[in-house]
Amino acid sequence: MSVDKDTVRRIAKLARLALEEDRIEPMVEELNGILAWVEQLKEVDVEGVAPMTSVVEQRLKMRDDIVTEGDNAKALMANAPQGQDHFFVVPKVVE
């Protein structure tokens, strides 16, 4: 399988990554280089093998549903590129 320019535009859109028009063709080549290389996995017989999702053989732990760290809005806002009071400010999304 390989990608074309439209596919690269589509995945860039999905990834919310602006890609200038003159960067698309080189990216097609770079991605196809990597995809051609991972094609080798096709030759492995994976019939009946369960996919591995975690190397830790333990159930996810549950914790009590309680507030552990509250009232730290100020600290959370400290790194905001743009904020007002305790709100993150973004361009208008509703007309």
Binding residues vs another protein (CB under 8 A) = 1, 3, 7-8, 11-12, 14-19, 27, 30-31, 33-35, 37-38, 40-42, 44, 46, 49-56, 58, 60-61, 63, 72, 75-76, 78-82, 88, 90-93
Q: Quote the CA–CA distance of 94 and 84 in Å, as a whole number.
A: 18
Shortest distance in whole angstroms from residue 7 CB to another protein: 7
Judged by beta carbon, residue 70 or residue 81, the one nearer another protein is 81
Are 24 and 5 contacting, i.e. CB atoms less than 8 angstroms apart? yes
Shortest distance in whole angstroms from residue 35 CB to another protein: 8
In the chain, where do the E strands start and end? 83-84, 87-88
Are 86 and 73 contacting, i.e. CB atoms less than 8 angstroms apart? yes
